[in-house]
């Protein structure tokens, strides 16, 4: 299990949201490139990069900043936020992104997901499953569907997906701890590789995830806790190592 620092971009700034609500936004840096480099220098092995404006408003405002981040870093980058068309993925891959996260289209355009898997392979495509009370959320978390997150994960495995990012959106940005039970259930009920996300507030939360003791729990995404200096990235990495 690795620690994956997150950089969320909105209006060219590095920010964090509470429960995905753009009305509840806090800026941490005017320079997302410097922030990404900071996490790389502190030992990050993979960067989780999200374009919030593209995810919520379909805005391309942050495109050049994302390209600058990819050029500046040596570590792999996974990019999410508004990846709903094939040319979105093609642009990301040509820019040097390691893998792309598909979220909303998993429910709205299954054919697109299947085509992306065929064109780029399952190591390049990650499925983001965001859940509220066990039900899948889409469109930047603005819509809660009637689709169970676990059922969606099972369907994704059937079409060839090998890796998902599972986020409990009620915990995201709230610093209240990860949803250990739902994460464990996701791992035990599928053969998917899982990256956990949402709610990490302390080193104890990381220890609790590690205690699941399952090789397919590949990593945990940490955002606000790092920005609020609840612990350092180096401390978090030392826990999993």
Residues noted as catalytic: 8, 130
CA 160 – CA 121 distance, rounded (Å): 9
**Residue bearing tokens 């920010």:** 15
C-alpha triplet 89, 109, 157: angle, nearest 5°: 85
Residue 167, SS3 per DSSP? strand
220 is written with which tokens? 């945990």
CA 194 – CA 184 distance, rounded (Å): 10
CA 142 – CA 20 distance, rounded (Å): 8
Could you tell me if 15 and 65 are in contact, meaning their C-beta atoms sit under 8 angstroms apart?
Answer: no
The number of beta carbons lying within 10 Å of the beta carbon of residue 191 is 9
29 is written with which tokens? 């840096």
146 is written with which tokens? 């009637």
**Furthest CA-CA distance within the chain:** 42
């Amino acid at each position: 299990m690795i620690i994956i620092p997150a950089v969320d971009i909105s209006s060219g700034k590095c920010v964090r949201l509470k429960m995905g609500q753009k009305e509840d936004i806090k800026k941490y840096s005017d320079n997302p490139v410097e922030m990404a480099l900071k996490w790389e220098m502190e030992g990050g092995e993979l960067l989780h990069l999200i374009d919030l404006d593209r995810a919520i408003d379909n805005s391309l405002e942050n495109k050049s900043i994302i390209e600058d981040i990819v050029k500046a870093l040596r570590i792999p980058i996974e990019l999410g936020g508004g990846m709903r068309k094939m040319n979105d993925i093609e642009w990301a891959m040509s820019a040097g992104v390691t893998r792309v996260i598909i979220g909303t289209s998993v429910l709205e355009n299954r054919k697109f997901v299947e085509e992306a898997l065929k064109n780029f392979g399952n190591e390049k495509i990650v499925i983001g499953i965001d859940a509220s009370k066990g039900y899948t959320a889409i469109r930047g978390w603005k819509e809660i569907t009637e689709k169970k997150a676990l059922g969606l994960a099972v369907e994704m495995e059937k079409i060839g997906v090998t890796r998902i990012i599972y986020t409990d959106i009620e915990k995201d940005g709230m610093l209240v701890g990860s949803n250990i039970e739902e994460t464990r259930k996701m791992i035990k009920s599928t053969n998917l590789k899982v990256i956990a996300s949402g709610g990490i507030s302390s080193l104890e939360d990381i220890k609790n995830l590690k205690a699941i003791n399952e090789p397919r729990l590949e990593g945990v995404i940490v955002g606000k806790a790092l920005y609020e200096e609840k612990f350092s990235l180096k401390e978090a990495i030392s826990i999993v190592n």
